[in-house]
A and B are shown apart, each in its own frame.
Chain A
Amino acid sequence: MTTQLFRHTGWMVVRQVRNLMREPIWIAMMVIQPMLWLVLYGQLFKRVGAQGPASGSYVEFLTPGVVAMNAFFGGMWSGMAMIADLDRHVIDRFLAAPTVRVAIVLSQVVRAGITAILQALILLLVALALGVRVHGGALGWLVVFAGAALLCGVFAGFSHGIALLMRKEASMIAAANFVGMPLMFLSSILVSIALMPGWIRAIARYNPVDWGAHAMRNAVLTGGHWGSTGVYLALLVAAAAATSLFATWCFRAYQRSL
């Protein structure tokens, strides 16, 4: 049963990644957008941000933040793929076959996570060219990749749940914006905790986006605080599990509605 789950999930991931690779615009967006953010925000907030917990340039401060932002938005929008599959009745076709049910949702979350890791890699390479150093070394790189995948997974689970409940693109876009924008600004993605008003700081503590940003910032900027980094990653694992369960529950609700 478990091997079946892995195999089916694997085939579904291959299908989705292959389909995405056929969209040149999507690839361009995936590569260019994060770089744009890094360069643009790097300029925009140059004078604001650098008063972080560690020394270094603002770009260095910003890099983990942009990685987190990308992973978070990538996850948030990943449910659109589910809506496309629902619209084209691909899901129903899989359901009438002996497909492992969980694989249909799980593969989407895994695919989103893989995308987030690829984007994190691109971002880190661009950041290196801009003079950023990953102070955490090899472990630091790993933490960035894990953080990106997990953060993306948290919101991919959420996004797919919403997609399965709403089943309409327009509603999905509205929901993603409604939830996404506040979560981004209620985190330390762009500015250091030290610069935030107290109430935002209080809220940010419970924001998974902030957990991811913190873990990755530890890995890039300080190359230390591994204890707290571990706690943040563990929190992300728990949150990703919770939203994946939510997505699975929504998938059952969809099946019942047939």
Chain B
Amino acid sequence: MDAIVAEGLRKRYKDVQALDGVSFAVREGEVFGLLGPNGAGKSTTVRVLTTLTQPDEGRAFVAGEDVVRHPNRVRGSIGYVAQDSGVDWEATARENLLLQGRIHGMAGKPLHARVDELLELVDLRDAANRVSRGYSGGMKRRLDIAIGLVHRPRVLFLDEPTTGLDPEARAAMWVEVERLAAAESLTILLTTHYLEEADRLAERVAIVSRGKVVVEGTPDDLKRDLAGESVTVELAEANGQVAEAERVLTALTDDVHVDGQSLRARVPNGAEAIPRILGALDDAGIPVAAVTTARPSLDDVYLHYTGRDFSSEDEAGK
């Protein structure tokens, strides 16, 4: 059975079409990644699935329940770790967890045992009775995740779990999520705008762009479907020649993308294509500083399906 089903979700905020027909399904026990830049519609999708907001059109089911018709049933079986921490700063980790458990109808010994178990699991036992105002970003994030897990939800939503964390804390969080997925046998829906994060954690991903899912599959499949390799050409000299170089590459390759002085493109076979590219650029009188090839990354997948560069769109989204 599918743990999450979204069918044609649409949602408009004043002049922004946040969701423009989002559809996807997540299997039970799977870690699924919604991948896309800021403003693509990931968080809005999560807010619909966690019953925080209602879609204008479309339907969605989480743990078998309709999010619009039976929101309270959905709330009982999900954990939601929002993009922004929902930790009560003036309360200790333990108090945060106890209150969340009570809201979910837990009480007494089972609740206290569960809270102890989670404090252990997210490594907050020593800080458990300290007011969380003084916690580091990583500690607050781990507490957020524990709060989302108190009632043993079937589905966990992790909205941008590592945004705002330093690289070290991010790596630690990845290990954490992997461990949780195994230990709690959860279905996890993860949103992220870090390609490596989706690549590392998600069994399947859906790429979201402008309120739509543009492609869905395992990271490996998506990369494999993009047959061939990516070629990056760094030009040696400045400006006027970038457009010229783009023309040359467009004749020889696919998915040409310009980023300052470097051009990226996709070819079936790098070793074969490089001499031809270099030859053509040489004929056109364009000096080249460096050429590299690589197996396609999710970055290339993103570029291919949206026609836009991931990092540059991400900047625009901010």
Contact = CB atoms under 8 A, between A and B. Distances in A.
B88 A88 contact: yes
A8 interface: yes
Interface stretch (A96-104, A159-167, A174-182): A96-104
Given A15-B91, A19-B88, A19-B90, 10 more contacts: A15-B95, A18-B95, A88-B84, A89-B85, A92-B84, A96-B78, A96-B80, A97-B100, A97-B104, A98-B103
Interface residues of A, number: 22
Contacts of B52: 92, 95-96, 255, 258
A92 B75 CA distance: 12
A85 B99 CA distance: 15
B51 interface: yes
Nearest to A8: B103
Interface residues of B, number: 28
A164 to B, nearest CB: 15
Given A258-B52, A258-B53, A97 B91 contact: no
A88 B86 contact: yes
Contacts of A15: 88, 91, 95, 99
Nearest to B51: A96
Interface of B: 47, 50-53, 72, 75-76, 78, 80, 82, 84-91, 95, 99-100, 102-105, 131, 147
Given A97-B100, A98-B72, A22 B90 contact: yes
A111 B84 CA distance: 26
A93 B95 CA distance: 15
B95 A88 contact: no
Contact of B103 (A18, A92, A97): A97
In the A-B complex, the 6 residue pairs with the closest CB atoms:
A93-B86, A19-B90, A96-B80, A98-B75, A89-B86, A258-B53
A88 B131 CA distance: 15
Interface in A9-67: 11, 15, 18-19, 22-23
Contacts of A97: 75, 80, 100, 103-104
